[in-house]
């Protein structure tokens, strides 16, 4: 398997600059794994300071948590892909369920954001996942397929090397109740099959698919042991330096 193992922390709207500086320091100081790519998705306000803190550590990279679908214009308060690229931020998270819910980001808008982000030279962690009602109805695989078809699958096969997929079931986010390893594996295998049908086996085998939703120090190993789980996108537990490093070291 030539897929990249990745552990990404999504800090969401947490930490002051000082707290973020301390947290990033704890992570970079304790980070020993040469194989695992570690990504910190931090608030926009922290990027500049944290770049200085971690620049020497090539295995710890920064991500923005979203970006606009245009590169400039009268969009007060927004941050564009080219602004991030000009700061040499390598990754941006797109399609997080909280953005979908609170900022009404739908699949069509996310297709535009993906296009703009890749055109600016960013790599994308693209999130998908179903809510509890959909999981209960048993249509979760179909739901995720629609999310991918209407946004991610607008890209060309050659662009997929710049994409990491994160499967985040909404019912597991911030609830303390992770998907079981079997539930994660089922969806990850289904996503990989979708990738194979759309882009062929080579792309499907090379694309890292992360699991997100209550990943903790005590369940990461079992989740990461699944054959199609290539790492995690971690919310709450990424705010605790010690626990986040434990998760990184779970591979
Ligand atoms: P938690 O790890 O807090 O459940 O959050 C997951 C998440 O939303 C990461 O993007």
Please name the residue that has the structure tokens 């600016």. 120
Determine what percent of the chain is predicted with pLDDT higher than 90. 92
Q: How far is the CA of 231 from the centre of ligand 1 (A)?
A: 13
Domains contained in the chain, number: 1
Q: Report the pLDDT value the prediction gives residue 2, as an integer from 0 to 100.
A: 74
> Which residue segment(s) compose the domain that 131 sits in?
6-248
Q: Report the pLDDT value the prediction gives residue 81, as an integer from 0 to 100.
A: 98
In this structure, the residue with its CA closest to atom 2 of ligand 1 is: 235
Q: Report the pLDDT value the prediction gives residue 34, as an integer from 0 to 100.
A: 75
Ligand 1 mutation pick, 216, 233, 239, 244, max ligand atoms within 8 A of CB: 233
Nearest atom in ligand 1 to the alpha carbon of residue 178 is 4
Q: Report the pLDDT value the prediction gives residue 210, as an integer from 0 to 100.
A: 98
Ligand 1 mutation pick, 95, 212, 238, 243, max ligand atoms within 8 A of CB: 212
* 92 domain residue, yes or no: yes
Look at residues 59, 64, 37, 60 and name the one whose alpha carbon lies nearest to residue 48: 64
Q: What is the CATH number of the domain that holds 61?
A: 3.20.20.70
Catalytic pick from 96, 98, 130, 188?
A: 96
Question: Who lines ligand 1 at CB under 6 A?
Answer: 10, 96, 168, 173-174, 212-215, 233-237
By the 8 A CB rule, do 167 and 128 touch? Answer: yes
Q: How far is the CA of 134 from the centre of ligand 1 (A)?
A: 19
Instruction: Concatenate the DSSP letters of all residues of 189-204 into one string.
Output: HHHHHHHHHHH-HHHH
Q: Report the pLDDT value the prediction gives residue 88, as an integer from 0 to 100.
A: 95
Q: Report the pLDDT value the prediction gives residue 98, as an integer from 0 to 100.
A: 98
Is the full-model pTM beyond 0.95?
yes
Spans of the chain below 70 pLDDT: 1, 55-58
C-alpha to C-alpha distance for 87 and 191, rounded to whole angstroms: 32
Write out pLDDT tens, residues 191-236.
999 999 999 999 999 999 999 999 999 999 999 999 999 999 999 9
Q: Report the pLDDT value the prediction gives residue 57, as an integer from 0 to 100.
A: 54
Q: Report the pLDDT value the prediction gives residue 1, as an integer from 0 to 100.
A: 55
96 belongs to the catalytic site: yes
Q: How far is the CA of 35 from the centre of ligand 1 (A)?
A: 23
By the 8 A CB rule, do 129 and 150 touch? Answer: no
Q: How far is the CA of 13 from the centre of ligand 1 (A)?
A: 12
Residue 176 contacts by C-beta under 8 Å, 6 or more apart in sequence? 214
* 1 domain residue, yes or no: no
Q: Helices (DSSP H) in 103-235: which residue ranges?
A: 107-119, 132-137, 140-150, 181-199, 201-206, 220-224
């Amino acid at each position: 398997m030539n897929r990249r193992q990745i552990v990404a922390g999504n800090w969401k709207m947490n930490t002051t600059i000082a707290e973020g500086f301390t947290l990033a320091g704890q992570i970079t100081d304790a980070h020993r794994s040469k194989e695992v790519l570690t990504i910190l998705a931090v608030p926009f306000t922290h990027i500049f300071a944290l770049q200085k803190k971690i620049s020497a550590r090539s295995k710890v990279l920064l991500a923005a948590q979203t970006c606009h679908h245009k590169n400039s214009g009268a969009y007060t308060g927004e941050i564009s892909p080219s602004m991030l690229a000009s700061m040499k931020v390598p990754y941006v998270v797109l399609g997080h369920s909280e953005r979908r819910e609170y900022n009404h980001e739908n699949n069509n808008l996310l297709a535009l954001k993906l296009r703009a982000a890749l055109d600016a030279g960013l790599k994308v962690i693209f999130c998908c996942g179903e809510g509890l009602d959909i999981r209960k109805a048993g249509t979760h695989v179909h739901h995720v397929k629609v999310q991918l078809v209407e946004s991610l699958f607008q890209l060309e096969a050659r662009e997929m090397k710049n994409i990491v997929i994160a499967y985040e079931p909404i019912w597991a986010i911030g609830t303390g109740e992770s998907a079981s390893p079997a539930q994660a594996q089922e969806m990850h295998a289904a996503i990989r099959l979708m990738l194979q049908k759309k882009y062929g086996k080579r792309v499907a085998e090379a694309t890292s698919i992360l699991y997100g939703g209550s990943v903790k120090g005590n369940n990461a190993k079992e989740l990461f042991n699944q054959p199609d789980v290539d790492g995690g996108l971690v919310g709450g537990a990424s705010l605790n330096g010690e626990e986040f490093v434990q998760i990184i070291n779970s591979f």
